[in-house]
C-alpha cells in the first residue's frame, strides 16, 4: 500500500490519548513510506495526524470541501491540499487516491466515511482493505453491533470480515497488507443474495 485514507475526528477530546494516537499513526505511516490521504483539516485528530506525518517526512494529501476552507479550518501545510465541492466528492477522492482505509476514533463524519468504505467494498465499487484501529476499546460497541447485524442476517457471511479491527497499529497494518478482497454483491448470483 502506497497511500492509506485515514478517517478520524476533527475534534480534540479532553482525553489526550486520542490526539497522541493520531500523532503516532501519522508518524508511523510516514516512517513506513505510506502516504496519508485525509480530510484536509488542521484541527483535532486530523491536524495531529497530518502534522506528525509531515514532520516525519511523509506525503500528506488533504481533501477538503470548499465550505470548510472558507471557515479557515483547511491545513495548507499538506503536501497537496485538494478542494472539492462537497462530501460526496471528498469520499470519492479518498477511494480513488488511497490503496486502503484506516479508521481512528472519531464522530459522525468518521462513521459516515467508514461505513461508505465498507458498503462500497461489499458492493464491489472497490476491493481495498478497510481497517479499524480499536484503540482503548473505543469501537467495542460498534463491533458488537456489527456482530449483531451478522447474527440477524443483515450482513452476509461473505462480508462479515470486511472491517478488519485490531487494537494495535502494527497488527492492523499487517492484516491490511495481506488483504484478500471479498466476493462483491455485484459478482454474486441471485441465489447467494
> Grid coordinates representing 99?
490503496
What pLDDT tens digit does each residue of the chain (193 aa) get?
A: 999 999 999 999 999 999 999 999 999 999 999 999 999 999 999 999 999 999 999 999 999 999 988 776 899 999 999 999 999 999 999 999 999 999 999 999 999 999 999 999 999 999 999 999 999 999 999 999 999 999 999 999 999 999 999 999 999 999 999 999 988 887 877 766 6
How many CB atoms neighbour CB 121 within 10 A? 24
Give one word for 137, left, alpha or beta, with left for phi > 0 and alpha for psi -120 to 50.
left
Q: Where residue 160 sits, what CATH number does that domain have? A: 3.40.50.450
Pairing of the two strands 80-84 and 163-166: unpaired
| Alpha carbons 2 and 113: distance in angstroms, whole number | 20
Q: Which domain holds residue 22?
A: 3-192
143 burial level (CB within 10 Å; 0-12, 13-18, 19+): middle
User: pTM, whole model, 2 decimals?
Assistant: 0.94
Domains in the chain, number: 1
Tell me, what's the pLDDT at 189? 72
Task: Give the chain's mean pLDDT.
Answer: 95
Q: Give the tens place of pLDDT for each residue, 9-36.
A: 999 999 999 999 999 999 999 999 999 9
Amino acid at each position: 500500500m502506497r497511500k492509506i485514507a485515514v478517517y478520524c475526528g476533527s475534534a480534540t477530546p479532553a482525553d489526550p490519548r486520542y490526539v497522541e494516537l493520531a500523532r503516532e499513526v501519522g508518524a508511523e505511516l510516514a516512517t513506513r513510506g505510506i502516504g496519508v490521504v485525509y480530510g484536509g483539516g488542521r484541527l483535532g485528530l486530523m491536524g495531529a495526524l497530518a502534522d506528525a506525518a509531515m514532520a516525519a517526512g511523509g506525503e500528506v494529501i488533504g481533501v477538503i470541501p470548499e465550505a470548510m476552507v472558507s471557515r479557515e479550518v483547511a491545513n495548507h501545510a499538506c503536501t497537496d491540499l485538494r478542494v472539492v465541492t462537497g462530501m460526496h466528492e471528498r469520499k470519492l477522492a479518498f477511494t480513488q487516491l488511497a490503496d486502503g482505509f484506516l479508521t481512528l476514533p472519531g464522530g459522525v463524519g468518521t462513521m459516515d466515511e467508514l461505513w461508505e468504505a465498507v458498503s462500497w467494498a461489499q458492493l464491489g465499487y472497490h476491493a481495498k482493505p478497510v481497517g479499524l484501529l480499536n484503540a482503548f476499546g473505543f469501537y467495542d460497541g460498534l463491533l458488537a453491533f456489527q456482530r449483531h447485524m451478522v447474527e440477524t442476517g443483515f450482513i452476509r457471511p461473505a462480508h462479515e470480515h470486511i472491517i478488519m479491527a485490531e487494537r494495535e497499529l502494527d497488527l492492523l497494518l499487517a492484516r491490511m497488507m495481506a488483504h484478500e478482497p471479498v466476493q462483491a454483491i455485484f459478482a454474486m448470483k441471485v441465489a447467494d443474495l
